[in-house]
Amino acid sequence: MNQPINIMPVDDDRNRQAREAAHRRVSWPLNLTPASVAYHSQGHALVLGNERDVRRAARALHEHGLPLPTLLFTEPMDSSETGEEDEALLADTAGMTSQRLSRAQARTVDIEGYLGHFTVRMAVEDGPLDLARALTDREHFDLILDLGESPVLALELPPPGYLALAWHDTQRDDQLEALAGLVGEFDKPRYFQIDNALCAHSASGYTGCTRCLDVCPADAVHSHQGRIEAWIEIDPFRCHGVGSCSSACPTGAIQFRLPETARQQETLLAWLAAYREAGGTAPVVRFAEAGDLVGENDAAGHVLDIPLEELGAAGHDQWLTALAGGAAEVRIQYRPGMPGRLTSFIDDQLDQAHALLQALGHSPSRLTRLMSGDMAARDALPGEAPLVGEPLAFTGNDKRDRLDSVLTHLEALGSPDGQRHTLPPGAAYGGLAVDGEACTLCFSCVSNCPTPALATGDDRPLLSFREADCVQCGLCAEACPEDAITLVPGFLADPTRRERQVQHEEAAFPCIRCGKPFATMSTVATLKAKLADHPYFAGDALARLEMCEDCRVKDVWQAMARDPEAQLKV
C-alpha cells in the first residue's frame, strides 16, 4: 500500500502551465447539442392555499401580467377578522374563478404534469374530478402556485412551472415575478438516453434493479408496467438533469448526455496525460458543477478542474478513473443547497469508492469531500504521490467493462488482500451461491440475467458465473423456480472475480431411444416426480419424459396409431 508522504511541487507555476497546456490540447466536450423538449405556457395559473394568501398572490401575479388566476381555497378567511385591507383584497380579486374545499377534500387533491400541462384532480364520489375542466373549461393549467403549509408536491426538485411558497418568504416577490415570467415557449435539453436492452430493472415479470428510481430528486424516473414486462421511463419534462440516475445505473442503460460517461472518462485521461507531458507533478482532480466555479479565484497549478453540468453526472467510476489515470487525489466539491437525495447519493458513492480503494490496497484519503468556497482545502497539496504504472487502457466499450478496467488497473498498482469486502447496501458488486442439490440447470437464471454474468456450457449442462459482470440486480434469484440462488453482496478483492467459475454441473441424460443427450439427470427426475399423476404420462407413457423431443413426438403418434381413441383419454 502506498504510504502518505509530504509532496511539495518544485514550481507551482510549472504545474499551472502544465494544467493550462492540458486544457488547450484537450477541449472538454460540453457542447453535445442533445435533443430538446418544448414547454408551451399561456400563463393560466392555479393558486391554492388559505384564502387570504391565495388572494394576495393572485393579485400580485395578475399585476405582473398573467391572466386572471384560478383560486382554490383550502382554508377560508374568517369573516369576523376581515378589515379594510381584506375588503380591498376581495374587491381586487372578485373577478377570479374560485372554489372552496373542505379539509377532507383538500387532502385528496392530486397534481400531475409540468409547465404548460398541469392536471389537477380531486377525489369525489363519482370518481376523480378534473378541476381545470370543472372550473375553467380548459384542459389543463399552465402554472401552479402552492401556498399550502404542506405542498401537494413535496419534491426536492418540483417540475418546472410548479412553485411551493410560503407567503412570508423573504424571496417571495422575486419568486412570484419569476413565476409570472413563465409565459411563452421554452426549450430544455433532453438530458438522457435509455438503452432498455441493457437495463436490469425487470425480466419475465420479475423486478430487479431499482437504483435509478431511488436516487432521482425530481421523481422523474418511473417503472412502467406492461402486461408482462416492466421498463424504466424518464419524463423529460420533469427531469432536471441531475445525472444521478445515470451514475447509479450499473449497466450503462441510462446515459447522461452532458457529456456522455465514456467521453467524460476519455477527456479526463487525456487531460492527465497532457498535464504529465507538460511537466506537471502530483495533479489533484476536482469534480465540481460548472456554475459553482464561476467567480472563483484561480486554483493552484496542481488542481485540474472537471466542470460538470450537475455533480451527480459523475459517480465513483469516474472518480476512480482519475486515480487510475494518474491523479494523486480526487476532490468532490459539494455546493450549498444541493437536494438532499443528491447529497445522500454522492455520500453513498464516496463510501463505495472508499471501500473499493481500501479493498484494493490504497488509502481512502485519496478521495475526499470539498465544500464550495473552501479555497484552502481546494488548493491543498496532495498527501500522496500519484499511482505510477502502465497507462490505463479500457478493454471494453460498455460501462461495466470500463469500470472493470479501472478496478483491474488499481488492483495491479495496489496490494489487494483477496478477501470479500463489505460495501454500502445496494452496491452493484457481489457474487452468488448456487445450491447444487436444488439446482436442476433449467437456466431460467441465465435467460433473465441482464449481463453476461451467468452462462450455460457450450457442450455440456453446466452453469457458470463471472463475478465482474454481476450487478446484484437479483433477477436470477427471483427467476429460479427451485430457490437455489442466493446473492452474496460485497467486493471480492481477488483476480478470480474476472474468471468464469462453474457453479453447478451435471451429467447429461441420454434419450432412452436414440441416445441423444437432451436434459440433465435432475431435470428428468424432477419432471417424473411432478408429472407422475398426469394422464398424458399415465402407465408406460411416463417413459416419454426420458425421451428427447423428437422421440417423444414419435412415441405419441405411434400410440395413437395403435389406439385411435387414445387422444380422447387425455
User: Per residue in 514-534, pLDDT tens?
Assistant: 988 888 888 888 888 888 888
Rg (CA), the chain: 31
Query: Can you read off the three cell numbers belonging to residue 509?
Result: 441424460
Q: Identify the residue whose cell numbers are 424518464.
A: 234
CATH of the domain at 59: 3.50.50
Q: What percent of the chain clears pLDDT 70, i.e. is strictly above it? A: 92
Please give the biggest Cα pair distance in the chain.
Answer: 103
User: Per residue in 446-505, pLDDT tens?
Assistant: 999 999 999 998 878 899 999 999 999 999 999 999 999 999 999 999 999 999 999 999
Mean pLDDT of 67-94: 84
Ranking 32-46, 134-148, 288-302 by mean pLDDT, the lowest is 32-46
Same domain, 277 and 362: yes
The residue from 392, 413, 434 where one domain ends is 413
pTM of the model: 0.85
Query: Can you read off the three cell numbers belonging to residue 176?
Result: 412570484
Local structure of 334: helix, strand or coil: strand
User: Per residue in 329-363, pLDDT tens?
Assistant: 999 999 999 999 999 999 999 999 999 999 999 99
Query: Can you read off the three cell numbers belonging to residue 12?
Result: 507551482
Does 7 reside within a domain?
no
Amino acid found at 307: P
Same domain, 395 and 437: no
pLDDT at 10: 43
The residues, ordered by sequence, that sit 6+ positions from 550 with a Cβ below 8 Å of its Cβ are 514
d(CA 46, CA 119): 10
Same domain, 403 and 279: yes
Task: Look at 530 and 415; give whichever has higher pLDDT.
Answer: 415
- Mapped to the 3 state alphabet, what secondary structure does 343-376 carry? HHHHHHHHHHHHHHHHHCCCCHHHEEEEECCCHH
The residue from 474, 505, 536 where one domain ends is 505
- Domain range for 474: 420-505
Cβ burial of 171 (10 Å; 0-12, 13-18, 19+) is exposed
pLDDT at 83: 74
Confidence of residue 5 (pLDDT cuts 50, 70, 90): very low
Same domain, 104 and 180: yes
Does 4 reside within a domain?
no
Mean pLDDT of 39-45: 97
Task: Look at 166 and 76; give whichever has higher pLDDT.
Answer: 166
* Among 193, 207, 205, 208, residue whose Cα is nearest residue 471: 208
Q: Identify the residue whose cell numbers are 451435471.
A: 506
pLDDT at 535: 78
Mean pLDDT of 14-40: 64
Number of domains comprising the chain: 5
Average pLDDT, the chain: 89
pLDDT at 529: 85
Query: Can you read off the three cell numbers belonging to residue 562?
Result: 395403435
Same domain, 332 and 222: no
